Amino acid sequence: MDERKNIWQSRFYTVPRVYMSLVGIWPYHRFRYRCFLFVPMFTFSITILIPQLKTCLKTIEDDWLSLNTDVERNILQRHTAYGRYITLTYGIFMQFVGILLISKSVVIMLLEDTSDATVSSLVAEAKLPLRVEYGEMLNQYLYPMAVHCYLAVFSHISITIAVDSCYIALIRHACGMFAIVGHTLEHIGKDSNDNFDLKPDKVKDDNYNKTLGCLRKHLHVIQFAELIESTFTNIFLVSVCLNMIGGSMIGIQVVLNLNDAKDIVEPFAIYIAQLIHLFLQFWPAQFLLDYSILPYESICRSNWYYTSRRCRKLLFLIMNRSLLPCKITAGKIVPLTIENFGRVLKTMMSYFTMLRSFK
């Protein structure tokens, strides 16, 4: 036992040991001590997200209440309905993966005899959906430990669905608001003709008033997109890094179990779920990037030449701001786009090839 402790007390593991102890996840500490450290660290790190998310949701409420026409409501409803379809499909699939993992474990436990005291811990661990280390206690309390693993699977999947569905809903709302701004700008000058007044009175200049409203709404949506970025950027940095490494390791398990139909189901389902989870971080961000330049394209399609000079100045401001599209990044480093998603997949394959060479 002393030799085992000396291994982790060596200078080679100083950094992970110190920081894992600091956040309360060092498994060799007493349970009470781990809880004493973990609870406040977890509370401080998670609760800061609640005010940010509440601000995002409050913005959505205000935007819905600010819509004045049925056309605007229909545009926003169309975009949110598309987001609902994505999140519903994603939620069903992820819950199916969780049920599959739990069902496989339950079936194995029912079909194979676990009452024999000579069953090794390795064999017992193979019956669980997660690889855990309970030592000799696993043989004695296999079923309670199995319930613990089942609840952990359900919790992990539920948290993943909650975060991803919230992210997708926020992105689709931002895209809908950009679409509303673009729709209004595209119809600027449509009711004018060659006899329009180049310097009308500001009160009577309908095109100017509409454009001014679009400018304010455009800046508001940009601020909302920046709020989404600040809320999720650090989460996505951790998620992308872990998925690249984890996806490569799960891919190795899939390859190693190609000839065993029973053992390939679990890693293959997890591998597909990881890819979809990663894809749904990049794909909505690509939508936001594309829709953020929609006001620029809408102005180009409008009859801007039938508007007053003051209106054209506002249109120029909107076009100038639209040249800098809104982006969601991973840690302010990597923009989440479909192109970068392809690069992440290539990186995962590189890790996969490297790990496979060690086999």
Question: What are the tens digits of pLDDT across the range 309-355?
Answer: 899 999 999 999 999 999 999 999 999 999 999 998 888 887 777 76
pTM of the model: 0.84
- Tell me, what's the pLDDT at 71? 94
Q: What is the pLDDT of residue 117?
A: 47
| pLDDT for the residue 261 | 62
The reported pLDDT for the residue numbered 205 is: 82
Residue ranges covered by each domain of the chain:
1-47, 51-98+144-357
Helix axes 49-66, 206-256, angle to 10 degrees: 140
Percent residues over pLDDT 70 in the chain:
86
Span of 45-59, 110-124, 140-154 with lowest mean pLDDT: 110-124
Inform me whether the pLDDT recorded for 11 exceeds 80. Answer: no
Residue 335 phi, psi (nearest 5): -65, 135
Neighbours of 345 (CB within 10 A): 15
The stretch 207-226 carries a mean pLDDT of: 94
pLDDT in tens, 25-52: 777 778 788 888 877 877 777 777 778 8
pLDDT in tens, 269-303: 888 888 999 999 999 999 999 999 999 999 999 98
Q: Which residues pair with 335 in a beta bridge?
A: 329
